Structure formats: structure tokens, C-alpha cells
Structure 1
Amino acid sequence: MRIVSSKTLRNDYSAVVADAHECGEPIFVTRNGAEDLVVMSHEAFLARERMLDERAAVLEAEADYRLRGVSYGLDDAASMLRAARSAQGVA
């Protein structure tokens, strides 16, 4: 986890951006010593969104199973994930 001050972000923006792309993880920015915001590369953001979407799909499948006894095979689950990604315009 990398933490930078807002002053560092302001004065060395290019280096912070390069670091965000290189590490692929969020960079926490502080202001007056307190947490203020998080910066991440676009690629890291999209990867995080995909992961959250996949988790949501798993939770939905688990809820279907608990409530209705509906279960899916691995091929069905993979097809459903591909369809959800396609609907969102994500590869």
C-alpha cells in the first residue's frame, strides 16, 4: 500500500501516475495528514470492477440455491458470467 500527500500528488503528478500504473494497486492520498482520496490506474479500476461483478454473481447464485434450490454447473456459471460481462461491455 502506497500513501502520498496531496502536496506530492500536486508536485510530482507524473511520478504518482507512473507508480499507479506500475504497481496496479490503489494509492492513498492524504491531506493535512488525514486520508482524503484514492488514486488508481484505469486498468486497476476495471479489474476491481470485474472482480466485484464476479463476487456479486457468486452471491446471487448462492442466494438462488438457498432460496430455491437452484444450482448451476461450472459451464453454466461461466456462460452466465460471460453474458453479464458482455451486457456490460466488458471483455
Structure 2
Amino acid sequence: MQMIPVKELKDTAKVSRLCHETGEPVHVTKNGCPDMVIMSTETHESLAKAAETGRIVSLVQEGISAVERGECQDAFGAVAALRSKYGL
């Protein structure tokens, strides 16, 4: 994890280079305490994509759990139930 004091933000080219070279967020401290995080656009997009992938995995796991609990039926059963319900 990269950490820099807030005073180093004056050298924007150096901070930008650090963000791009490390490929990870750079944590900025103020008076020795965490204050903010800076990252390259590429890192941000990668983290956002990973978060979305995690959300999709979570939804799939939720679906699998619903099937295991017997709360779902297969497509053939669903179609048969609809045909029966509507006299098709």
C-alpha cells in the first residue's frame, strides 16, 4: 500500500506517476492520519469492474440457494404451469 503525506500533492506529476506505476490506490495522510485516496482511472475502472463481478457472483449464489431451497422450478415446469393456468 502506497502512502504519501498531503504536502506531496503539490507535485502532481509525481503523484500521477506513482498512481500509474503502482496500479493501486495511493493513500494520502494529513497530520499522520488517513485522509483520502487517489488512484488512476485504470485502477478505478478495474476496482469498479471487480465490484460488479462480485455483485453478479452474489446474485448467482443467491439463485443457487433459492434452487436448493426448492423455491424455483425449471423452465419446462414453469411453461407447463403457465399453459395449465391459461388453458394453452
Q: 1:79 matched to which residue of 2?
A: none
RMSD across aligned positions (CA): 1.2
Structure of larger gyration radius: 2
How big is the shift at 1:23?
1.1
TM-score (norm 2): 0.73
Establish whether residue 65 from structure 1 lines up as the match of residue 64 from structure 2. Answer: yes
1:22-61 per-position Cα deviation (integer Å, ceiling 9, x unaligned)? 1110000001111000000000000000011001100100
Structure 1 residue runs of 4 or more that deviate by more than 6 Å after TM superposition: none
Structure 2 unaligned blocks of 5 or more: 73-88
TM-score (norm 1): 0.71
**Identity across matched positions, percent:** 29
Structure 1 unaligned blocks of 5 or more: 71-91
How big is the shift at 1:16?
0.9
Pairs aligned (count): 69
Distance 2:20 2:6 in 1: 18
How big is the shift at 1:68?
3.1
